[in-house]
Amino acid sequence: MDYFPLFLDARQLRCLVVGAGEVAARKLELILKTPATITVVAPWACDTVKRLAQSDQVTLIERVFEDTDLDHKDMVFVATDSGEVNQHVHDLARAQNVLVNVVDNTPLCQFITPSIVDRSPIVIAMSSGGVAPVLLRYLRQKLETVLPTNISRLGNFSEKFREKVKQTLSTVTARRYFWEDVLDGDIAELVEKGQEDKADTAFLKALEAAAQEKKEQGSVYLVGAGPGDADLLTFRALRLMQKADVVVYDRLVSPEILELVRRDAEKIYVGKAKSNHTLPQEDINQLMVDEAKKGNRVVRLKGGDPYIFGRGGEEIETLISQGVEFQVVPGVTAANGAASYAGIPLTHRDHAQSVVFATGHLKNNTIDLNWPALAHDNQTLVFYMGLTGLSIICNKLIEHGLSPTTPIALVQSATTENQRVLTATLETIVEHPETASMKPPTLIIVGSVVSLHSKLDWFTPASDD
């Protein structure tokens, strides 16, 4: 993040605009949405600037820039057609610790103005750091269509009762839960429809009820984070992640997905790799119970789907035994994600009429599976956590009847920019020169559907270059 996003208090902001053409007019019009005092200096002014300068906030000085114009200023926009003047004002501003923006010259910008969706007092600002203005404009248009025009009413309503709620409810968590219930419920609907008297009455009644209640036990949400690509999250998963007080996550949850968690939520890493557990499973189970009993909303964020080789059932059994409320939010399991992004359909009329998910996790150097049931043609096999036991898996399948030439695929870091796909056969994959470089998490797909990979492959991970 090259630019740190923030909102400046403009109530006493003193702003200078150097230049008075149409480019400067756009900046002037933007600043006039705030209560800042503005000085415009230029030897001439376009009609738009002259019209905007009729505001009491604006002082227009029609002459060339002088160094003293920068005195007692907090911010300066430079929008002249002279590169020499632009550079001079920039250098002078930096020397005097005045925030400076040279319009359309990113290297000379100490700050940049974002793309803004204005529903004051709700304001959304977005930036691409100057590298993708068209994309930014596209995203702003999307937001404009999604956000209700009258959401400003909710902002004003929240401001009106903010102090009263703060005085009535003693803890931050209690206040946040209360506001979430308000904004998700009928009171918000009344506000948005302009029925403020009814909304006020309902709000005060709800606040009184919240003040009389004892702090309730929290809940646990077992949430599937999918195979890695943040775009594969469900809407419900995203909504709960943004409401969580505590997020307990494992090593298969990608950094891009963690970025979507509520900023002030406590994030607890409990990742498990082979023979390297940050916390034993029993401790993870108890951690969720303890946090819920403190009154927190706990999201247990698990890669893939919680109920497919995610130990979700074990965790839920603990919650039930200790009387903790819970919900389960399914996710795209790693098998589906890996197959889809690798161009390998798990079922196909000409190749496989069934699919089996199995664990390849070794215990005492063996894999206790029903090999005769697995070694069938016209069936797709997907092995989770099987990279270490790859040779055993291949040998057992051949031993129990699958052809040595049966296609097999290794899919590493599926759906992410680090995805790798390696294909071979049961008899050649172990000795393949690239197999040794494959790292967990890697799924193994076995069956004739793998032969479709070269034809159906569509996903191109980001280049390392």
Q: What is the Cα–Cα distance from 176 to 268, expressed in whole angstroms?
A: 21
Give the confidence band of 412 by pLDDT, cuts at 50, 70, 90: very high
Give the confidence band of 104 by pLDDT, cuts at 50, 70, 90: confident
Burial of residue 270 (number of CB atoms within 10 Å: 0-12, 13-18, 19+): buried
Count of positions (residues) in the chain: 465
Q: Is residue 216 over pLDDT 60?
A: no
Per-residue buried b or exposed e for 246-268, using 16+ beta carbons within 10 Å of the residue's own CB: bbbbbebbbeebbeebbeebeeb
Stronger pLDDT, 219 or 19, i.e. the higher one: 19
Which of 78, 127, 82, 85 has its CA nearest to residue 100? 78
| Start-to-end CA span in the chain (Å) | 20
Q: Is residue 218 over pLDDT 60?
A: yes
Q: Is residue 365 over pLDDT 70?
A: no
* Average pLDDT score over residue span 23-48: 96
pLDDT averaged over every residue in the chain: 91
Catalytic residue among 272, 290, 294, 457: 272
Q: Locate 96 and state its tokens.
A: 């005097």
The number of C-alpha atoms within 13 Å of 86 and in the hemisphere containing its C-beta is: 17
Q: Which residues contact 246 (CB under 8 A, 6 or more apart)?
A: 265, 266, 267, 268, 291, 296, 297, 298, 299
Longest alpha-carbon distance in the chain: 91
pLDDT score, position 157: 93
Annotation marks residue 272 as catalytic: yes
* Average pLDDT score over residue span 206-222: 81
Q: What is the Cα–Cα distance from 438 to 387, expressed in whole angstroms?
A: 8
Q: Is residue 322 over pLDDT 80?
A: yes
Give the confidence band of 465 by pLDDT, cuts at 50, 70, 90: very low
Q: Is residue 277 over pLDDT 60?
A: no
- Domains of the chain by range and CATH? 14-113 (3.40.50.720), 151-212 (1.10.8), 219-332 (3.40.1010.10), 335-456 (3.30.950.10)
Annotation marks residue 250 as catalytic: yes
Which of 397, 385, 362 has its CA nearest to residue 442? 385
Per-residue buried b or exposed e for 41-58, using 16+ beta carbons within 10 Å of the residue's own CB: bbeebbebbeebbeeebb
Q: Which residues contact 361 (CB under 8 A, 6 or more apart)?
A: 274, 367, 384, 385, 386, 389
Q: What is the Cα–Cα distance from 57 to 39, expressed in whole angstroms?
A: 8
Range of lowest pLDDT (84-93, 176-185, 351-360):
176-185
Q: Is residue 368 over pLDDT 90?
A: no
Give the DSSP per-residue string, 293-343: HTT--EEEEESB-TTSSS-HHHHHHHHHHTT-EEEEE----HHHHHHHHTT
Q: Is residue 78 over pLDDT 80?
A: yes
108-148: pLDDT as tens digits: 999 988 888 888 888 999 988 878 889 998 998 888 877 77
Residue 232's identity, in one-letter code, is L
Q: CB count, 10 Å around CB of 407? A: 21
Catalytic residue among 69, 229, 245, 250: 250
pLDDT score, position 243: 84
Q: What is the Cα–Cα distance from 313 to 242, expressed in whole angstroms?
A: 24
223-246: pLDDT as tens digits: 999 999 999 999 889 988 988 889
pLDDT score, position 390: 94
Question: CB of 408 within 8 A of CB of 424?
Answer: yes
pLDDT score, position 279: 81
Question: CB of 10 within 8 A of CB of 35?
Answer: yes
* Residue appearing with tokens 């494959």: 438
Range of lowest pLDDT (185-199, 224-238, 242-256, 369-383):
185-199
Give the confidence band of 210 by pLDDT, cuts at 50, 70, 90: confident
Residue 90's identity, in one-letter code, is H
pLDDT score, position 363: 55
* % of the chain exceeding 70 in pLDDT: 96
Question: CB of 89 within 8 A of CB of 65?
Answer: yes
Q: Give the chain's count of helices (H) and strands (E).
A: 16, 19
pTM, full prediction: 0.68
